[in-house]
Amino acid sequence: MIEVKAVEKNYGSKKILKGVSFTANKGEITCLIGINGVGKTTILNAIMALTPINSGQILIGGEPIDKHTFEKITFIPDAITMLPHMTIAEAMEFMNDFYTGWNQRRATELLGFFRLNPSDKISSLSKGNTAKVNLLLGLALDVDYVLMDEPFSGIDMFSREEIANVFTSHLIENRGVILTTHEIGDIEHLIDKVVLLDDGMVTKEFNAEEVRETEGKSVIDVMREVYQR
């Protein structure tokens, strides 16, 4: 489980996170939802210790983050971090050099799944295919938790469907996923848990299926209630 406890973060005098708390379980897909600028990416950065927090605590599997954590958790940012002149094959080699948890068998499977050509240069890829390579590089690591920042933004609907298919496959099974998005539409049925953020705080944390069952509401219904007050 990833536990985010009362995390506060300021950039200068600007308060970005004002005491954010939520949990994300292993084997579940947790979705952080909020409009732009609400602090979604900052939360992911904080979980990965890419940015220092002013107060609060983050635990991964009950332990605070240290250098070994990075073999248990991976972060897929919203833009690919590989050098553009690299081919997909070279990028995979690069990952293999850096992470003991790199799983080439799974990487090869993902290449087929996304119909990517390993000899293609990353700079020559379409936006959708770049996003798929980015996802591949993260998902091919044998880690317990995967964080994804806006995996669907700016991508055509067919690529979006292909990416969404990953979530229903064994490539994600048993792992804990936290993803951020501002449009929930096509993934409503894929997510276990929703964390709604507004103005640096968690306004609501709920299980999607439970809300359908006990209140007869869709995720979007709940969002409407929370955001249009």
Partner 1 sequence: MNVNFNNRDPVYLQIIRYFKEKIAVGELAPGEEIPSRRELANKLKVNPNTAQRAYKEMEEQGLIYTEKNHPSKITTDIKVLGKVRNELLDEAVDMFVTSVRSINVPVEELLDLVRVKYSANDDKEA
Point out which residues bind partner 1 (CB under 8 A).
Answer: 27-29, 164-165, 167-170, 173, 188-192, 209, 212-213, 216-221
Taking residue 2's Cβ as centre, other Cβ atoms within 10 Å add up to 20
For 4, the enclosing helix (H) or strand (E) is: strand 2-11
| Closer residue to partner 1 in complex, CB, 55/165 | 165
| CB of residue 49 to partner 1, shortest distance in Å | 29
| Closer residue to partner 1 in complex, CB, 27/154 | 27
| CB of residue 173 to partner 1, shortest distance in Å | 6
| CB of residue 86 to partner 1, shortest distance in Å | 31
Three-class SS string for 206-223?
EEHHHHHHHHCCCHHHHH
| CB of residue 170 to partner 1, shortest distance in Å | 6
| Closer residue to partner 1 in complex, CB, 26/85 | 26
Considering only the C-alpha atoms of the chain, give the largest distance between any 2 of them, rounded to a whole number of Å.
52
How far is the C-alpha of 211 from the C-alpha of 215, rounded, in Å? Answer: 5
| Closer residue to partner 1 in complex, CB, 14/170 | 170
Give the pair of three-digit tokens for residue 63: 């332990």
Q: How many CA atoms lie within 13 A of 80 on its CB side?
A: 26
